[in-house]
Structure 1
Amino acid sequence: MRTRILPRVSEAKPGYGKRSAPDQRPPHADDFALLPERERYVAGFVDHLPDGAAMNVKTLAKQLPLYGQQAVGSALTALSVAGHLRRVRCLVGEGEQVRWVFRTFWSRTARDNEWWNAYLDAEDHRAVADPEDGAVPGAGAVLGTGAVPGVRPALCAAAEPWARAVPEAPTTAPLSPRTRAQVPIPAPGAPADTPATPTPTPVPAVPAQPGPGCLSPAYLALARLGRVDHRLALSAADCEALEARATEWLARGVSTDYLTQALTAGLPARVDSPVGFLRHRLKDKIPPALPAAPDIPTGSARRVMVECAQCGTPGRPDALPDGLCRPCRQAAHGAALATDAVNGHAAGREVRAYVNELRDLLKAP
């Protein structure tokens, strides 16, 4: 009985690695029979790798004993030209939490450029609709609800019985002797199940005072000027009088730190009227109003870019036919023409030698 040795799999980081293309035919022994020996060997190994396996040249060369990194890289480039794979960059995340992940889409069935372009365009639309695809899951999603980040699930499961054994705190706290004395005792004729209702104590009304959360950022920035420089100490009435002018500054896109620095820079040695001095500064140094930034439609920025299989240059799928950029494609085409010319020249020399031999035979007696 023949034992089959499975390839050693090196997993890539979450979001990276191999991704299988859809609508592939079932595996067969002659899937890559038309490829050269090296490409057939590398393709058979890659085809048996699971999704998420590392697909960089260095990792594959460590797992393939017959070929080095340069040979594996050349084989992957040839497989891209043959229509079996595409290397892509995918933008994952939203807002400021974004990163590029590198994936290799693999198809056992050879595809043409039109199929790959349509498939990668669909992947780009899906990535725009789901920008978190491929991101590293949070600790709660990996460990489960109630898990502690950095602790293995087995330890959390072992801690659950101990957590359940802790008694719950009583919902009603015991009454102190002083509180018990203040609770009225029900009358003798009252039913035992009727709760005694204590007489509410009237609470004097306290006028509501505006807290720091009710004040505007412009008011707070003006109020803090006296702490930055004592020469600009303002009263509450002064802050209310200048609040409208300071709000105009913030409405033009500046921050409170910018406002504070502009008002406190280059102060004279003595400021007789802080409110008058700041009123002039708020009027004379107000920043210019900038036009609003144009809204960029979400679909205009691509989240899936194809990489050249030879040099790694990114681009749109239709700009990299066969997975190669224009310089690499021209270099490969020139090398192919040179090889054909050498082979044709050798064939021509063989024909001339054969003709010369025939002429020698004709001259013989």
Structure 2
Amino acid sequence: MATQHPNALTRALAELPGPLPAFGVIHIAIPHTSRFTVVGNHLAQHAELSLVAIGIGVHIQSLPVGSLVGIKALTARFAEGEMRIAAALRELEAHGYLRRAHVRLANGRMATRTVFCNQPGALERAGRVVVAPKVPPAVPEEAPAVPEEPPAPPPAPEPDPVPESHPPVRVPPRTAPKPPRRPLPQPRELTPELRRTASAILADLRSHAKELVLSEDDIEELIPGVAAWLEREVRPDAIRHALTADLPKPPKYPAKIVRHRLTVLLPPPLPGAEELAPAAHRPLVIPLQNCDGCDRAFRSREPGRCRGCRDLAAAA
């Protein structure tokens, strides 16, 4: 049998200061320089979370912003089933690590954002949501005292490490200023006929949707928006359908709903006959270019030299 030589683990244990404990885990702390995540002991040693919940919490905290952390994505990544992963996510949500924030998108719809907080207690005190945790100074957190195990020796001091992750992204608070509202469409010329037809369409909306009862001031303000639709040759019944279909139940602000739909659903102008003509029937027009050699005009899609100058150059 070959003689066994001391390996790296044996040498590392021999270099630890003080006597080694007779039982229990022994820590060999080697500082990380890349690909690491700072995890608090309040999560890693949580007294009420299950081991699956702690593991999933550490995994989510190590992912970059924008990663999928739903039940389907985690089930595809780990061997645990959907029921165990769903229960673990509920545990993290109950203890404040996992949160779901409702935000409004640019198109006006509401969406649910999944937010993971690395320090739920600090979140409540600060009153803000931090999506990506900020890297604290490289000072080891003291573990709770255990009778049979001495604390791990602190690592050698070195510059603060920078993890390979995206910078902190902060969700704006509810008091943040909202983006400016898009202006109501305006016609090129608000003629008396357009004004009369637009006013009639707005006043008649309550006949097709009883929720859309507009005041005279609302109608006067919204007339230019409907006139812009009419100017683009949209039929009154098509305008009525766009303003009354799939209304929220109940609509709290009818005038705001009408204004929003007139603005975001405005169709483009109808194309002319030339745009609708088949490409094969359109005459092919090649622009004139000035020759770079003799300055004479010739037809070509790209600037350059005429055929005569090219032939002379080829002959030379």
Q: Same fold (TM over 0.5)?
A: no
Higher share in helix: 1
The higher radius of gyration belongs to: 1
Higher relative contact order (CA 8 A, sep 6+): 1
TM-score (norm 2): 0.32
TM-score (norm 1): 0.28
